Amino acid sequence: MAGEEGAAPGAAQPPADPSPGSGEAGDGGGGGYEAKCVFCRISHGEEPGTALLPCEHEDLVCFRDIRPGAPHHYLVVPKNHMGNCKTLKKEHIPLVEKMLAAGKSMLQRNNFTDLNDIRMGFHWPPFCSISHLHLHVLAPASQLGFLSRMIYRINSYWFITAEQLIERLQSENTSS
């Protein structure tokens, strides 16, 4: 789509907003780029303020959370736009596992090796500010501040660990 706009010459018109009401998580489909989505822009290197960290999976990107909740706080994000974790299905389990693996190797690459002292998970809608699927990777879990312990709290209804998400996806499928 890039650059193919048939722009009316001259007239500066207010942008027509085709989306009825915001906050709706997703188009359901995968594999897209949404210019309005900050994580899409980051993953395509269009946000100069956010440096992409080395990541061994070419369909994922990693970068530091702009509001770190722990000494190590990374985000692992699919390069293509995907809705939040609530929209995932069983077929996405390999993707979630790959994001987990990327998060762990991100920590190890940054010399954090105690994988028993980490927290990795997703914010459960509507408790996430960005709808683009993203895994939070925090370490050491034992050094989360008070606020972070709340925001990334295990067994809360706003945060789900990666393991819980995988279990959930597995059980959803087998019960149907």
Catalytic residues: 134
Q: Total binding residues for Zn ion by CB under 5 A?
A: 8
The backbone torsions φ and ψ at residue 82, rounded to the nearest 5 degrees and listed phi first, read: -135, 150
Q: Does 132 bind Zn ion (CB under 5 A)?
A: yes
Q: Does 159 bind Zn ion (CB under 5 A)?
A: no
DSSP letter assigned to residue 74: E
The neighbour count for residue 25, using CB atoms within 10 Å, is 17
Q: Find out whether the peptide bond into 18 is cis, omega within 30 degrees of 0.
A: no
Q: Does 128 bind Zn ion (CB under 5 A)?
A: yes
List 25, 30, 37, 158, residue binding Zn ion (CB under 5 A):
37
Q: Does 81 bind Zn ion (CB under 5 A)?
A: yes
Q: Does 73 bind Zn ion (CB under 5 A)?
A: no
Instruction: Report the distance separating Cα 56 and Cα 62, nearest Å.
Output: 10
Can you give the binding site for Zn ion, defined by CB under 5 A?
A: 34, 37, 39-40, 81, 123, 128, 132
